[in-house]
Amino acid sequence: MARAATRPATTPEAGDAAERMLQILSEASRLFATNGYDGTSMRDIALACGISKSLLYHHFTDKDEIFAKVTLGSTRELYHYVFDRLPEAGPAERVRRFMTATGEYFQKYRWAWIASTTAFWNDPEQRRQKERMMWRDQYEGLIRTLIQEAIDAGEFRPVDVPLTGRLILSSLNWMHRWYRPEKGMAPPQIADAYCDMIFNGLVAPR
Taking only the tens place, the pLDDT of each residue in 127-152 is 777 888 899 999 999 999 999 999 99
What local confidence, expressed as pLDDT, does residue 131 receive?
Answer: 86
What local confidence, expressed as pLDDT, does residue 15 receive?
Answer: 56
Q: Report the share of the chain in percent with pLDDT over 70.
A: 90
* CA atoms of 143 and 118, how far apart (whole Å): 22
Give all domains of the chain, ordered by start, each with its CATH number: 64-200 (1.10.357.10)
* CA atoms of 167 and 205, how far apart (whole Å): 23
Quick one: CA dihedral 186, 192, 196, 199, positive or negative?
positive
What's the pTM? Answer: 0.84
Low-confidence ranges of the chain (pLDDT < 50): 1-10, 12-13
Q: Mention every residue, 6+ apart, whose C-beta is less than 8 A from residue 1.
A: 83, 84, 86, 87, 88
What local confidence, expressed as pLDDT, does residue 124 receive?
Answer: 62
What local confidence, expressed as pLDDT, does residue 9 receive?
Answer: 46
